[in-house]
Structure 1
Amino acid sequence: MNLAQIIITRNIEKQALKPAIGFKKGNQWAELSWKKFSQTIAKTANALKTAGIRENDRVAIYADNSAEWITFDLAILSIGAITVPVYATNNAEQTEYIINDSQASMVMVGNQKQYEICYSLLQKNQFLKSIIVAKDKEITKKEDTVFLSDFIADQSMEIEFCPRSYEDLATIIYTSGTTGIPKGAMITHGNLRKGFDAHFEFFKFKNFEEEVSLAFLPLTHVFERSWSLLSLYGGAKVYFLENPKEIAHALAEIKPTMMCTVPRFFQKVYAGIHDAVEKSTSTKKKIFHWAVSVGKHYAALKRTEKRVPFVLNFKYRLANLLVFSKIKQKMGGRLWFTPCGGASISPEVTEFFDAIGQHLTVGYGLTETTATIALFPFTQFEYGTCGKILPGVEVRIGENSEIQVRGDGIMKGYFNKSEETEAVFTPDGWFKTGDAGEIDEAGNLTITDRIKDLLKTSNGKYIAPQQVENTLSNNSYIQQVMVIAEGRQFVSALIVPNFEFLKAMLEKMNIPFTSWEDILNREEIVKLYRTKIEEFQRILASFERVKKFILMPAEFEMGSGEITPTLKIKRKVVLEKYKDLIERMYS
């Protein structure tokens, strides 16, 4: 059965008048009931058919998160067409590549820049035939393009779903990998639906229809897209945040119970909490460290399903009252389920949030596996691992300790790339992840190395950059870091400071602010960071430690192609862009 049909019909039957989605309208949050949401999807689906879109045609979405995004997506799926998401931050060249490679005939855009890029393509592209503008009055458009509201006007609110099998394509998701040309992973209706059912079997959620999820990661990415569709599939209400920089306000306003996120989000929260504690009084420091110690003891017993003694339970309630509740309130106060993936996360960060009662459901997966391969259950997991294998997924450890996968979530292959597809599958049909790992006796999967990312120094030593980068960034001093070591005699790094934190430090050091280029070249600032870096990396082996570094005056950004939507640095791009700067550290 068509995935969109399942999502719509089961919720119309159960809760037609309850809210389905939320979105920002001006400065206020608004909602659509399941009945209204399904009618809007139906009108959009019928408009697509009127415009000539047929089953298996590709339709692109090039916009930030919005109600229009998810509506257009479900409308495309409803008629048996194939959604092609394009990252909202992609430039003209990247967008043209995806339009051409997928042969998309229509695109919905969200803002003026996206519109201008697509309009220029419309004049010369052999595949793209029409542009739909998501929001009225926010874009200046030409006469030969149409606003979404006009596009769906006068369309029927009755929908005829196109039958789909498990093997039929639902979407082509282009990898945002840190190296290489993006490839379109072909994800089927079955990949998504079976994955959703596996998650519900794994977690055995109760009263899922009462949950509230906040979507702030890009819907273009497999993680947020599949999680938001899973939430709707289960009947939860999903709010869509267009501007991820407004996440702090959105958490306070919406008070979500669920939210998928990336490690950097919790690393920043972790660093901010510890920085605030360091600035507090000695009494508050003692209370905080006592509370965390109690929390860790309590969490360890809960994690291993052991009885919590009465006295410890009392202490934990007191710790929650004095410390933990205040921290959790800043994240809305109701957040309890937080799938976390897209990059590695330090065990100490995961353990800390478990201690305060904010469990992180750490997981591992790829675009090609429809996200989840393994993840933390609610109990019986181990910090530092990726958790247990999802039902319907098989994992084996192949040559060079590579994690290989087969099962319900594995893509059909890369769109129009038979050689690339063949290269990532073994002769007996297992998908090769490119990551090295191991499975312990309890069934926990651990990533030991990122085969694709391992760096080898000229001395023959292998460096796992994620480990070094996590070690250096779990604090308030450093916002981003990229380690360099491949073919070099020692490890170096490009380091982006936490500018907000550093600005406060300048006041304490009586250093007047001029420009970040000037500030970061000052001897006392470089010395401060050298001291801190030496302190942070004491736990690393001597050959893993950063010997030289350069402080960068601006963050790596998605818009410039330097980071992926899950905030992983694109090493190849950064290495090329800053090659002269890097050579200075080795000259």
Structure 2
Amino acid sequence: MNITEFLNKNTKRFPQKAAVGFKKDNEWKELTWMRFKQMVFRTANALVEAGVKENDKVAIYADNSPEWIIMDVATLAIGAVTVPVYSTNGADQVEYIINHAEPKIILTGDQEQYETCHQLLGKTTGVEQIIAAKKNFTLKDNSIFLSDFIEKASDKFKIVERSDEDLATIIYTSGTSGIPKGVMLTHGNFQKAFDAHIDFFDFKDFEKEQSLAFLPLSHVFERCWTLFCFSVGAKVSFLENPKLIANALQEVKPTTMCSVPRFYQKIYAGINEMLVTASPTKKKIFAWAIETGTQVSERKRDQQNIPFLLNQKYKIANALVFNKIKTKLGGRLWFMPCGGASISKEVTQFFDAMGIHITVGYGMTETTATITAFPFTKYKYGTAGKLIGDSQIKIGDNEEILVKGSGIMKGYYKNPEETAKIFTEDGWMKTGDAGVLDNEGNLTITDRIKDLMKTSNGKYIAPQPIENMFSNNSYINQILLIADDKPFVSALIVPNFETLEEKVKTLGITFTNWKEVVENEKVQAFYQKLIDDIQVNLSGFEKIKKFILMPADFEIQSGEITPTLKIKRNIVLEKYAGKINMIYNK
């Protein structure tokens, strides 16, 4: 079955219920299921009239928007293949993907994205037309605005039948190293993933939920989650600029939303930073509230009854502390899938205590996202949860996690060599992650195998847990540990410039740029003490001996981090090799 059959199903069930939310002219607007289906079918007919056939490719290079998802669903509905391109990708990366995938049509978002694609017309093969989603700039040849593209198209369309094996999308992995590989996912991969989530979580009336899509739709996590929400009839609102997430949460008031650990780490660090300057009374109230919330969350997790007196205390804790934080997140969030990187148990416990449950999970683009996830009860902090659907796991050489299941990709597009490398002879897929399974079936990710470091003294160091310790601090935004073949551990540290700015004032430092700040002796001394305090319980060989404070964030646009905010270790190490060498040559 074509996964876009949800259009017909949900339009029959509730034609006037909102399906899509989006912001236009500073106001949130909606598309009903009936209107959503009409827009998709008009786009589908226009694609067919433009010569797009079954199994042809349609690329989307744009920020989140209703146009993005409409083009995606329309492409799938005609039996063609969607090729998402990260909106933050530079011209070189876009050129590689377009040359490799050879789409017939590209949908672009803003003018910069349009110009990048138009400049590629003479350098690529197969691209016949560029469609611009926005209508606020002038087009060149072989281009058309989306509104004009679909203007005369009919809204009557018969969705093309697809089998489980038919290709739905090619998602190029951003990866933390190497050139992108095109992951081939089928209609069956998506449908089985949707079914697995329904069975695992046993959702009730999920069509009443409202999701906020702020992670890039070009990433498998947000895309799979959004299509899942649509498959069961839930509403999804699309946020174009993820930097506006704080306002969007209060405006949209979503009940569900997928996110990455960094989102929660920042909130956790921000709350702890506010506590530093709080009065002794407020600190005591907050500590009491967290203690009370922890007792309640532990009983809920273990399916135990909550005593009357504890429940009354929890209501007071909510009124005095937790509701203020929940309100900043919109006030209605209850189901929050979290993946893309590791998250420390301190953060998940902290949010659980406030009654904001983070559903931690583990997956990859190659597995159609989720392999394991926290169930609603009996989950174990510090793990990535339990197997979902028909997924299977075994631990191979070097503790590598090997997986099987209906979510596993068809292979890498036009890349049989890399496809062969990732599968064992008996069909298990190598994840590249190291982990362990406990007796209760909980998976713990220990680290990326490629990231595992060995010092010149022969000591092995897993960087992720240590980096998470530091990232949970309000003065540290990003950190990269360095130790491989080195005599000791060092680090590149990107400060949280918002909190550092306040600290600089108290230190009496005047400055004109951040380079001056991070090189200042007082700031260096402050971070040295901060680091020493954080790593007090680490083994001696794991401790950071020297560090460099960076004057600017690692950026997606510069290729230093992935769209899920993971640092591309190899790229950063190469880019800042000179600085790193100075650490060890002093």
Fold agreement, TM-score > 0.5: yes
* Amino acid in the other structure paired with 2:196: A
Structure 2 equivalent of residue 408 of structure 1: 406
Structure 1: 5+ residue runs without aligned partners? none
For 2:131 and 2:177, locate their aligned partners in 1 and report how far apart those are by CA, in whole Å. 32
SS of the aligned residue for 1:272 comes to helix
Structure 1 equivalent of residue 84 of structure 2: 85
Q: Which moved more, 1:576-585 or 1:449-458?
A: 449-458
Structure 1 equivalent of residue 123 of structure 2: 124
Residue 19 in structure 1 maps to residue 24 in structure 2: no
Counterpart contact for 1:436–1:447, Cα < 8 Å: yes
SS of the aligned residue for 1:326 comes to helix
The aligned runs of 1:319-330 (5 Å cut-off) are 319-330=317-328
For 1:169 and 1:146, locate their aligned partners in 2 and report how far apart those are by CA, in whole Å. 27
Q: Which moved more, 1:413-422 or 1:273-282?
A: 273-282
Counterpart contact for 2:19–2:235, Cα < 8 Å: yes
Residue 193 in structure 1 maps to residue 182 in structure 2: no
| Equivalent of residue 255 in structure 2, options 254, 257, 264 | 257
For 1:18 and 1:377, locate their aligned partners in 2 and report how far apart those are by CA, in whole Å. 29
TM-superposed CA distance for 1:489, in Å, is 0.9
Q: Deviations over 1:111-166 (max 9, x none)?
A: 111111111111231222210001112x3321431000000011000012111000
TM-superposed CA distance for 1:422, in Å, is 0.6
Counterpart contact for 1:476–1:498, Cα < 8 Å: yes
Structure 2 equivalent of residue 331 of structure 1: 329
SS of the aligned residue for 2:519 comes to coil
Counterpart contact for 1:335–1:358, Cα < 8 Å: yes
Counterpart contact for 1:449–1:464, Cα < 8 Å: yes
* Amino acid in the other structure paired with 1:348: E
- Normalised to the residue count of structure 2, the TM-score between the two structures is 0.99
Q: Deviations over 1:433-491 (max 9, x none)?
A: 11121211111111123212111111111111111111111111101111111111111
TM-superposed CA distance for 1:394, in Å, is 1.1
Structure 2 equivalent of residue 437 of structure 1: 435
For 2:258 and 2:446, locate their aligned partners in 1 and report how far apart those are by CA, in whole Å. 24
The aligned runs of 1:90-489 (5 Å cut-off) are 90-137=89-136, 139-489=137-487
Structure 2 equivalent of residue 39 of structure 1: 38
TM-superposed CA distance for 1:397, in Å, is 1.4
* Amino acid in the other structure paired with 1:293: E
SS of the aligned residue for 1:43 comes to helix
Counterpart contact for 2:212–2:256, Cα < 8 Å: yes
For 1:327 and 1:177, locate their aligned partners in 2 and report how far apart those are by CA, in whole Å. 34
For 2:104 and 2:456, locate their aligned partners in 1 and report how far apart those are by CA, in whole Å. 49
For 2:54 and 2:281, locate their aligned partners in 1 and report how far apart those are by CA, in whole Å. 66
Counterpart contact for 1:121–1:128, Cα < 8 Å: no
Across the two proteins, how many residue pairs are aligned to each other?
585
Structure 2 equivalent of residue 70 of structure 1: 69
Counterpart contact for 2:213–2:258, Cα < 8 Å: yes
TM-superposed CA distance for 1:211, in Å, is 0.5
For 1:428 and 1:124, locate their aligned partners in 2 and report how far apart those are by CA, in whole Å. 41
SS of the aligned residue for 1:158 comes to coil
SS of the aligned residue for 1:538 comes to coil
Q: Deviations over 1:278-310 (max 9, x none)?
A: 211110000000110111111111101112222
TM-superposed CA distance for 1:191, in Å, is 0.3
TM-superposed CA distance for 1:396, in Å, is 1.3
Structure 2 equivalent of residue 28 of structure 1: 27
* Amino acid in the other structure paired with 2:332: R
Counterpart contact for 2:60–2:84, Cα < 8 Å: yes
* Amino acid in the other structure paired with 1:219: L
Q: Deviations over 1:58-115 (max 9, x none)?
A: 1100000000000000000000000000000101110011111112121100011111
Structure 2 equivalent of residue 513 of structure 1: 511
- Deviating 4+ runs (over 6 angstroms): none
Structure 1 equivalent of residue 58 of structure 2: 59
Residue 3 in structure 1 maps to residue 3 in structure 2: yes
For 1:515 and 1:396, locate their aligned partners in 2 and report how far apart those are by CA, in whole Å. 51
SS of the aligned residue for 1:435 comes to strand
For 2:342 and 2:350, locate their aligned partners in 1 and report how far apart those are by CA, in whole Å. 16
For 2:254 and 2:123, locate their aligned partners in 1 and report how far apart those are by CA, in whole Å. 44
Counterpart contact for 1:362–1:376, Cα < 8 Å: yes
Counterpart contact for 2:128–2:142, Cα < 8 Å: no
SS of the aligned residue for 1:543 comes to helix
TM-superposed CA distance for 1:541, in Å, is 1.4
* Amino acid in the other structure paired with 1:217: L
SS of the aligned residue for 1:291 comes to helix
Structure 2: 5+ residue runs without aligned partners? none
* Amino acid in the other structure paired with 2:182: G
SS of the aligned residue for 2:401 comes to strand
Counterpart contact for 1:455–1:465, Cα < 8 Å: yes
Counterpart contact for 1:506–1:513, Cα < 8 Å: no
TM-superposed CA distance for 1:317, in Å, is 1.3
SS of the aligned residue for 2:477 comes to strand
Counterpart contact for 1:496–1:555, Cα < 8 Å: yes
* Amino acid in the other structure paired with 1:134: A
Structure 2 equivalent of residue 49 of structure 1: 48
Q: Deviations over 1:236-293 (max 9, x none)?
A: 1000000000000000100000000000000000011111112111100000001101
The aligned runs of 1:525-564 (5 Å cut-off) are 525-564=523-562
For 2:471 and 2:430, locate their aligned partners in 1 and report how far apart those are by CA, in whole Å. 30
Q: Which moved more, 1:82-91 or 1:468-477?
A: 468-477
* Amino acid in the other structure paired with 2:481: V
For 1:258 and 1:540, locate their aligned partners in 2 and report how far apart those are by CA, in whole Å. 36
For 2:383 and 2:537, locate their aligned partners in 1 and report how far apart those are by CA, in whole Å. 19
For 2:446 and 2:548, locate their aligned partners in 1 and report how far apart those are by CA, in whole Å. 28
For 2:524 and 2:31, locate their aligned partners in 1 and report how far apart those are by CA, in whole Å. 52
Structure 1 equivalent of residue 578 of structure 2: 580
Q: CA RMSD in A?
A: 0.9
TM-superposed CA distance for 1:585, in Å, is 0.6
